[in-house]
Amino acid sequence: MTAVERGADDRTVKVTFMAPYADWQALFDPLLPGAALDTPEEFNTGWIEKIPVWGGPWKLGTADKTAQTITVVPNEAYWGTKPLLDSIVFRALDATAITEAYLNNEIDQAPGRDPDAYRRVSGAANTVIRTGGRWDETQLTVGRNGPLADERVRQAVANAIDRTALAAAQSAGLPFKVNTIGSHFFMPSQDGYRDNSGETGGFNVARAKQQLDQAGWASAADGRTRTKAGAALKLVFVVNSRGSTDLPQLIQNMLAQVGVEVELRKVPSNDFFAKYVNIGAFDLTYFRQVDNIYPSLLFPVYRSDGEQNYGKVGAPEIDKLLDRAGAETDRAKAVELLNQADVLLWKAGHSVPLFQTPQISAVRPGLANFGAFGLRGDRQYADVGWIS
């Protein structure tokens, strides 16, 4: 930016950029108060157990540490759309307790994405199920250490994985089809989506075996783990202990079919990112990425030097395409550049986008404008209300 100036009135700002920036809207979601964040002390401690500035339709009413609740009430100083509700109470609950709290009428909404949770909440009295397609990607991230330093091995990993079978497993017991994803940037329902997995990333067991052969990993006659110079082709799949091992086990079995041995290593949830993912201490790992409506939010994931490119797989050609797409204000042209970059990401074996997790929410029937918020994930709490 070269300038941030007052606009036509006190509620308008004029921002001038030094160069074209396609996703400028992302800078204003959310808006943060500079006056309460402009020193290290204010940033680090100024918001502990207090909220010094309110700039939206709600403000803090009460906070109850014992009950683990926060109540917000309408902010009388807000000049925009006034809330329909008199208050909203937010409760801190362990994930395992949410379904029970909903069934006990302690809360008015609960996720139903888990098949067991869906079975319980969908049959509950005074309940409707609302579904939507959020920007929500489960991605297998691939490292580049050891055998994975070879692009052919990374491609073989992608070729060995049947994403359709994984999505079908996720759909079991749910009323909502789980979509596979063939793009690193777009969801299937988004304008611009194209399945670019093709030869280098699509499910193809024969090609996976061929790639491993060409990389020098010899197959065993009895179908056991491949070897090279006396070493076994073994990968470590780091798994968050809080999550299910169902998906990793399916991937483990798929890779075994092409001669790749996979060790599933469950690590403490608190250590998963800090001690493993963030520092690239894995061969394979998986997690969700959500609400990346603006493609530039994903650039740190896919740039060679990106701070969220945990596997450190990239290429200068990809970086150049991302730079061009980020500066292209013609959406059609930007989408084409992103799809070109996507083709190269599949070729590089950066990661394997697996499927789009659906939104499934159990909600009280009279609660309007709340539940599954769809692709953008917008939660306009001022528009939420009870139908009388």
CB–CB of 73/86 below 8 Å?
Answer: yes
Residue 311 lies in a domain: yes
Q: Summarize the confidence of residues 338-352 as an average pLDDT.
A: 98
Specify the 3-state DSSP secondary structure of 88.
strand
Strand partners, 64: 69
pLDDT at position 258 over 70:
yes
| One domain, residues 229 and 346 | yes
Predicted local distance difference test score (pLDDT) of residue 243: 86
In tens, the pLDDT along 2-60 reads 899 999 998 889 999 999 999 999 888 778 888 888 899 999 999 998 888 888 899 99
Q: pTM of the predicted model, to two decimals?
A: 0.90
CA distance 132 to 174: 13
In tens, the pLDDT along 206-248 reads 999 999 999 999 998 788 999 999 999 999 999 999 888 999 9
Residue 95 lies in a domain: no
> Which one has a higher pLDDT value, 310 or 372?
310
Predicted local distance difference test score (pLDDT) of residue 1: 80
Q: What are phi and psi of 136, to 5 degrees?
A: -150, 100
The number of domains in the chain is 2
| One domain, residues 204 and 347 | yes
Strand partners, 70: 63, 90
CA distance 44 to 217: 51
Which percentage of the chain shows pLDDT scores above 70?
A: 99
Neighbours of 205 (CB within 10 A): 15
DSSP 381: G
Predicted local distance difference test score (pLDDT) of residue 173: 85
Predicted local distance difference test score (pLDDT) of residue 190: 93
| One domain, residues 24 and 141 | no
Neighbours of 349 (CB within 10 A): 25
> Which one has a higher pLDDT value, 276 or 26?
276
CB–CB of 240/270 below 8 Å?
Answer: no
Residue 365 Cα distances to 43, 126, 174, 375, 379, angstroms: 41, 6, 20, 22, 18
Q: What is the DSSP string of 192-222?
A: T-----HHHHS--HHHHHHHHHHTT-BPPTT
Residue 203: which CATH number? 3.10.105.10
| One domain, residues 179 and 325 | yes
Which percentage of the chain shows pLDDT scores above 90?
A: 82
Predicted local distance difference test score (pLDDT) of residue 51: 86
In tens, the pLDDT along 99-117 reads 999 999 999 999 998 889 9
List the one residue out of 24, 95, 22 whose CA is nearest residue 13: 24
| One domain, residues 175 and 290 | yes
Q: What are phi and psi of 21, to 5 degrees?
A: -140, 110
CA torsion angle 97 102 103 105 (round to 10) = 130
Residue 247 lies in a domain: yes
pLDDT at position 377 over 70:
no
CB–CB of 357/334 below 8 Å?
Answer: no
Q: How confident is the model at residue 98 (pLDDT cuts 50, 70, 90)?
A: very high
Residue 245's domain spans which residues? 136-356
Q: What is the residue-averaged pLDDT of the chain?
A: 94
